[in-house]
Amino acid sequence: MTVLLTGGAGYIGSHTALSILNSGKEVVVLDNLSNASPEALTRVEQLTGKKAPLVVGDCANREDLEKVFSQYKIDQVVHFAGLKAVGESVAKPLMYYRNNLDATLTLLEVMQEHGCFDIVFSSSATVYGTIQEMPLKETFPLGCTNPYGWTKFMSEQILRDTGKADPRFHIVLLRYFNPVGAHESGQIGEDPSGIPNNLMPFICQVARGRLKELAVFGNDYPTKDGTGVRDFIHVMDLAEGHLAALSYAEKHAGVEVFNLGTGTGYSVLDLVHTFEKVNQIKVPYRIAPRRPGDIATCYADPSKAKEMLGWSAKRSLEDMCRDAWNWQKNNPDGYRR
Ligand code: NAD
Ligand code: UD1
């Protein structure tokens, strides 16, 4: 059984590659390396003792995809490839729609032509928009607040319509909450280029002394300490969620959607203080104004994934903070792209 991971050299893709290889399946990666280093896959190979061949190419380019499907017998696909920076998507919407939607459309066409019908798609909790009722259930109405989110919303719709029209498809849509942390070896992890936008990588860079202090965006939200609350999920739990989704796709035709979260919300200051405690390191911070577009609270109802996929997150906030710092400490400059 061979699984193609589009965008598989990236943060979540590399951790998932490791889990899939350890489960006994083969992996092939297609990545244009626009936000990744091939070193991530070299390390996955070192950790697993198995090959994870990388085809450098674009998922929106039919020829590149044809090459992969002709060279390998692909049984299943996990579609990670996409651009993911919310702020950048507001500034460059056409680039986001072009890249993320073309990648999904071309991939589905080429899969259909090659008789491959199992696909797991990386969606995001961002498709729930500004809903305030928590926890978020898969049945809630959707709506987005930025072009990045709309590309996930539209890709979900493209996949739903494709599954409806062609009953040979087995489609699983995974809505990730806030993935953080790294593999426990400290050999692979999140490697954002430039100044990080997201909380955990920012904290790591402050702890390391590369950035002076964390700006906590708002302490006047209606939450227990006034700071934003999120459903942080360990990236290895998320990787294992993909294994469960691939097994589900093997057996089930049609389209199904699952939240991948822990079901527990922690505040920005919970994360800062837990990071300080488990790693015995100070994270200087100051309170700053709210970040435009942020919501107060966001956490999943993960019960559907538990019931239907037999998957639930196992790792604690302490594990997430320890493993994120272990990666950062071992690799102060990431993969040195
Ligand atoms: P990432 O940027 O590390 O990985 C995405 C990978 O896709 C990168 O390696 C990049 O080089 C590649 N890529 C982008 N466009 C491509 C294209 N056209 N052809 C081939 N490769 C291409 O991001 P990640 O955090 O690993 O996220 C993986 C997926 O999960 C993305 O689709 C992202 O939108 C989604 N997601 C991420 C988060 C998160 O917080 N990290 C949350 C929800 C959803
Ligand atoms: C962001 C994206 C979301 C995407 C997710 C995962 C926005 C508006 N949303 O979610 O679409 O799916 O990343 O990639 O960008 N925070 C600080 N200081 C910082 C950074 C963050 O206080 O320097 C706070 C934020 O205000 C928020 C929390 O930390 O309350 C988490 O932020 P972040 O890691 O950026 O994730 P989200 O905003 O939840």
The domain limits of the chain are: 2-183+231-263+301-310
Q: What is the DSSP string of 129-157?
A: TT--SSSB-TTS----SSHHHHHHHHHHH
C-alpha distances in Å from residue 64, one per residue of 21, 36, 57, 329:
23, 18, 6, 36
CA–CA distance, 241 with 245 (Å, rounded to integer): 6
Residue 38 has pLDDT above 70, yes or no: yes
What are the tens digits of pLDDT across the range 253-285?
999 999 999 999 999 999 999 999 999 999 999
Locate the ligand 1 atom nearest the alpha carbon of residue 126 and give its number: 43
What are the tens digits of pLDDT across the range 154-174?
999 999 999 999 999 999 999
CA atoms within 13 A on the CB side of 124: 25
What are the tens digits of pLDDT across the range 92-101?
999 999 999 9
CA–CA distance, 150 with 123 (Å, rounded to integer): 10
CA–CA distance, 6 with 219 (Å, rounded to integer): 38
Give me the percent of the chain exceeding a pLDDT of 90. Answer: 98
Q: How many helices (H) and strands (E) does the chain have?
A: 11, 14
Residue 26's φ and ψ, nearest 5 degrees, are -90, 155
What are the tens digits of pLDDT across the range 178-205?
999 999 999 999 999 899 999 999 999 9
CA–CA distance, 251 with 76 (Å, rounded to integer): 12
Distance from Cα 199 to the centre of ligand 2, integer Å: 6
Measuring from atom 27 of ligand 2, which residue has the nearest CA?
228
3-state secondary structure (DSSP) of residue 162:
helix
Our answer on whether the CB atom of 60 is closer than 6 Å to any ligand 1 atom is: yes
Q: 150 is written with which tokens? A: 């709309």
Q: 218 is written with which tokens? A: 């708002």
Position 180 scores a pLDDT of 98
Q: Are 283 and 212 in contact (CB under 8 A)?
A: no
Counting ligands in written order, the one closest to the CA of 149 is 2
Q: Which residues contact 264 (CB under 8 A, 6 or more apart)?
A: 231, 299
Assigned CATH class of 2-183+231-263+301-310: alpha beta
What are the tens digits of pLDDT across the range 106-147?
999 999 999 999 999 999 999 999 999 999 999 999 999 999
Distance from Cα 175 to the centre of ligand 2, integer Å: 15
Q: Where are the beta strands (DSSP E) in 212-253?
A: 214-217, 229-230, 232-234
Is 148 an active-site residue?
yes
Position 336 scores a pLDDT of 82
CA–CA distance, 297 with 221 (Å, rounded to integer): 9
Q: What is the DSSP string of 80-124?
A: --S---HHHHHH-HHHHHHHHHHHHHHHHHHHHHTT--EEEEEEE
CA–CA distance, 249 with 275 (Å, rounded to integer): 36
Buried b (16+ CB within 10 A) or exposed e, 72-87: eebbbbbbbbbbbbbe
Measuring from atom 16 of ligand 2, which residue has the nearest CA?
199
Mean pLDDT of 27-47: 98
CA–CA distance, 6 with 9 (Å, rounded to integer): 8
Distance from Cα 247 to the centre of ligand 2, integer Å: 31
Mean pLDDT of 293-311: 97
Residue 337 has pLDDT above 80, yes or no: no
